């Protein structure tokens, strides 16, 4: 029997043959570009020298002035849909539980949360892109310099979104859009929707030993206006990252993943 596998741009394939039609999942693919970020011809193109190079291993400097949480700012106002989640999370916490601990169930942390875990991130900077690999679930994030944002009709949405970088003086500006809006949180009870838009402004300070990152986040499906935070990362030259996998059954001992305490 002859069958033809016809694939769409991102997710589904159509299996056709002698009257048989069936949908089957296909691997997600990054939309095609004229040249890959690591293509030799692309890397060789003349470009201005960047103000700094983030290549190295970095660890979030958790402190009172650089907390790991992306807590809502004073006077914040949520949308009615987000308020339902927020109220449920506060109720669960008051009763000693947690609310929808998707990370404990091995869902990706996603941006912005992935940027403040207690695990290091290895960053590799090239003229065309910055590759970030977190030791936390080995989450991959790529910041491209050689292209604009993808067409929203064909882009593959992810928990870390599509990040496009540019240099403004001594500041690296990263614009990230196109997120997955399920099992994705900005903070406990604050959902990240598919409309979230993150702009990071990164400076290298302390003689190259520290990254200072200002986050500006808008998500009209979850809250009003723009929320801002500033976090710091320290260079850790004595650290490497390892291969790390997340398995739900190995997290069963954690209070946040037990069914009676993980409110869903």
Pairwise CA distance, residues 118 & 114, whole Å: 9
pLDDT at 5: 45
For 16-63, what is each residue's pLDDT tens digit?
444 443 444 445 556 666 799 999 999 999 999 999 999 999 999 999
Furthest-apart CA pair in the chain: how many Å?
A: 68
- Among 222, 184, 199, residue whose Cα is nearest residue 77: 222
Structure tokens at 168: 């403004």
Q: 101 exposed, middle or buried (CB, 10 Å; 0-12, 13-18, 19+)?
A: buried
pTM: 0.84
End-to-end CA distance of the chain: 47
pLDDT at 19: 43
Pairwise CA distance, residues 218 & 245, whole Å: 31
DSSP per residue, the chain: ---EEEE-SSSEEEEEETTEEEEEE----PPP-SS-TT-HHHHTS--PPPS----EEEEE--BTTB-S--PPPTT--B-HHHHHHHHHHHHHHHTT-EE--TGGGT----TTGGGG-SS-EEEEE-SSEEEEEESSTT-EEEEESSS-PPPTTT---BSS-EEEEEEETTEEEEEEE-B--SS-EEETTEE--TT-EEEEEEEEETTTTEEEEEEEEE-TTTBSSEEEEEEEEEE-TT---------GGGGTTSGGGSTTTEE-
pLDDT at 79: 98
pLDDT at 16: 40
pLDDT at 249: 76
pLDDT at 204: 98
- Which of the residues in the chain have pLDDT under 70? 1-33, 250-264
């Amino acid at each position: 029997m002859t069958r033809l596998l016809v694939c769409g741009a991102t997710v589904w394939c159509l299996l056709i043959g002698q009257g048989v039609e069936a949908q089957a999942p296909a691997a997600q693919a990054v939309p095609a570009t004229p040249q890959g970020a690591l293509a030799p011809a692309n890397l060789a193109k003349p470009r201005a020298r960047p103000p700094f190079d983030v290549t190295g291993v970095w660890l979030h400097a958790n402190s009172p002035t650089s907390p790991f949480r992306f807590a809502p700012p004073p006077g914040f106002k949520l949308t009615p849909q987000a308020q339902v989640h927020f109220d449920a999370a506060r109720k669960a916490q008051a009763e000693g539980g947690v609310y929808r601990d998707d990370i404990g169930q091995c869902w990706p942390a996603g941006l912005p949360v992935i940027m403040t875990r207690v695990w290091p991130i290895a960053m590799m900077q090239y003229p065309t892109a910055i590759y970030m690999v977190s030791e936390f679930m080995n989450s991959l994030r790529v910041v491209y310099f050689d292209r604009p944002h993808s067409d929203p009709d064909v882009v593959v949405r992810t928990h870390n979104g599509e990040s496009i970088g540019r240099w403004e003086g001594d500041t690296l500006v990263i614009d990230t859009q196109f997120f997955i809006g399920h099992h994705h949180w900005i903070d406990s009870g604050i959902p990240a929707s598919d409309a979230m838009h993150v702009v990071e402004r990164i400076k290298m300070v302390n003689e190259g030993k520290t990254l200072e990152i200002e986050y500006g986040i808008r998500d009209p499906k979850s809250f009003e206006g723009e929320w801002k935070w500033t976090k710091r990362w320290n260079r850790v030259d004595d650290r490497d990252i390892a291969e790390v996998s997340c398995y739900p059954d190995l997290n069963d001992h954690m209070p946040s993943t037990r069914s009676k305490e993980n409110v869903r």
